[in-house]
Structure 1
Amino acid sequence: MPGRLKVQRPSPTTVSFTVSNAPQRSSSPAKILFGLQILLRAVLFSCVVSVGVALLRHIVFKGDSGRISWSAVWSSALGSKLCRFVDSYNPLAIAVVSAVVIYGVFRRGYTEESLLVIRGFGIQTSTSSSTYLSSAATRFIPTTQIQDIVIHEAFKGFEVRFYLAVIVEGEPDALVVFPHMLPKRDILEQVWRGSRRCLYDANAKS
């Protein structure tokens, strides 16, 4: 899915460019589908937790602890079925499948990259992680180390791709902005003009 550009200007000296391929949820069917996805993730996570607790019932979750009577839980109809299900499979296989399901539950499913420009301070690049369990990868470059912001072109297979890069003082390689998304040239030109205007044009208006 091609990336879409979102521009925010919270102040005359600050501008944020975000490129994302997240699905749009403006229509009612899209919102309903998103709600069903969240519900499915919650159900799968609950199932994995239940299987994990049953798998460790002889080690950790046994007897009575606090307000929970684990012996009553495992002797119930649902608890006994869960125990029989867990005991019929290899514990290692259950652990592997549970890990895969957990990854799918917390997988983000889209990529979001941003460039924050603050006049007089510098720029910050950010790339979202592949899961909701970890934070985005960010890097801040002060204005004193920014030599230039340029648009380069490179070959990717048999295709010519354009990318936005920041030339940082003292570094042999340029810092590529939006390295995973690699948006189209018209988006890059808009970000290039807006970032340079914010950084170097003291008379620029929001």
Structure 2
Amino acid sequence: MPNRLLVRRPSPTTVSFTVSNASKRSTPSAKLLLVLQVICRILLFTCVLLVGFARLRHSLYGDEAFNLHWNAIWSSRIGAIACRIADTYNLAGIALVSALVIYGVFRRGHTEESLLVIRGLGIQTSTSSTSYLSKAATRFIPTTQIQDIVIHEAFKGFEVRFYLAVIVEGESDVVVVFPKLLPKRQILEEVWRGSRHCLYEAKS
């Protein structure tokens, strides 16, 4: 999917640039597809939990009401299927398939990277993780350590790619903004102008 840029300006001294390769959800069919994907993820995760509990059902003990509740589940059609799967395959196979399904359920299908610029304080870069279970990787750079924000070019394979970089005082390597997505030059130029304007407007 092509990268899209979203610019937010909550205040005159703050601006946020977010680049994402997620598909647009503007049409009714796209929104319906998103709802179906969420429902499928919930159903798959529920099935994994049900098969796991079915595998351990003989070792689950509780009060009488608790046992009657679980017996009602195992006697249902879905519960019977879960019990049959749990009793047919060995524990290692069930664990492996369950891990793969859980990984697919919680895997993020897109990448989102952002640059937050706050005049007088600094900038914060953020890159989303590949899973919904882990946090995004962020870094904050104070204004006093920012020497410049530039657009560089480099070779990636057989093509020339442009990237936005922050030159940090005391560091030999630059901090690459949007390192995973590496958006096109038009997006980088808009982010470069907006970030420099927010950081250095008072000085100019």
Per the shorter chain, which TM-score range? Answer: over 0.9
* Cα offset, 1:189, TM superposition: 0.5
1:15 alignment partner in structure 2: 15
Q: Is the 8 A contact 2:3 2:19 kept in 1?
A: yes
C-alpha distance in structure 2 between counterparts of 1:22 and 1:180, whole Å: 13
Distance across 2 between alignment mates of 1:145 and 1:4: 29
Identify if the C-alpha distance between structure 1 residues 88 and 67 changes in structure 2 by more than 3 Å, giving closer, same or farther.
Answer: closer
SS at the partner of 1:58?
A: helix
User: For residues 66 and 131 of structure 1, do their structure 2 counterparts lie closer, same or farther at Cα, with a shift above 3 Å needed?
Assistant: farther
CA apart distance, 1:56: 1.7
Q: How far apart are the structure 1 equivalents of 2:39 and 2:8?
A: 31
Please say if 1:111 is aligned against 2:80: no
**Residue equivalent to 2:96:** 96
What residue is the counterpart of 1:76 in the other structure? 75
**Counterpart contact for 1:62–1:70, Cα < 8 Å:** no
Given the superposition, is the C-alpha separation of residues 80 and 5 from structure 1 closer, same or farther in structure 2, using an over 3 Å criterion? closer
Partner in structure 2 of residue 179 of structure 1: 179
Deviations 1:2-40 (A, max 9, x none): 210010000000000000011101001111111111111
1:192 paired with 2:198, answer no
TM-score by length of 2: 0.93
- Deviation, 1:75, is 5.5
* CA deviation after TM superposition for structure 1 residue 63, in Å: 5.0
User: What displacement does 1:58 show?
Assistant: 2.8
Gaps of 5+ in 2: none
Counterpart in 1 of 2:134? 134
Identity value in percent: 68
TM-score by length of 1: 0.92
DSSP 3-state at the match of 2:116: strand
Q: Which runs of 4+ in 1 moved over 6 A?
A: none
Q: Would you say how many aligned residue pairs link Structure 1 and Structure 2?
A: 203
In the other structure, the counterpart of 1:35 is 35
Consecutive unaligned residues of structure 1, counting only runs of 5 or more, are none
Root mean square deviation, CA, Å: 1.8
Kindly provide the CA deviation profile for residues 103-141 of structure 1, in whole angstroms up to 9, marking residues without a partner as x. 111111000000000000000000011111111111100
Moved more, 122-131 or 71-80: 71-80
The residue identity in structure 2 corresponding to 1:56 is: L
In terms of mean alpha carbon deviation, does 181-190 or 72-81 score higher?
A: 72-81
Which stretch of the first structure deviates more once superposed, 71-80 or 84-93?
A: 71-80
CA displacement at 1:66 relative to structure 2: 6.2
Q: Tell me how far 1:73 sits from its aligned partner.
A: 3.8
Distance in 1 (alpha carbons) for counterparts of 2:107 and 2:27: 23
